[in-house]
Amino acid sequence: MKTTEIRIERTSSYGHYRVTGLVNGIEVSAITTDSQSFDYLNDEDNEEKHEQALAHCEYKLIQAYENL
């Protein structure tokens, strides 16, 4: 499955973040409590943490897509 346009933002609930993106061209969103993903998704200076955050967000989006 192809995931693109991944972004993460805070929600109004403490410690919860909304991950949104396109999976196979369909917009999908999911909730995560992984604060490191929020911290490192857009931080490409720390490549290892960025890759981990990206993988986590992709996983959450694919799970949400499969449950549509």
CA distances from 40 to 43, 55, 68 (A): 5, 11, 27
pLDDT in tens, 38-67: 999 999 899 999 999 999 999 999 999 999
Phi/psi of residue 47, nearest 5 degrees: -60, -40
pLDDT in tens, 8-34: 999 999 999 999 999 999 999 999 999
* pTM for the model: 0.92
CA distance 46 to 58: 18
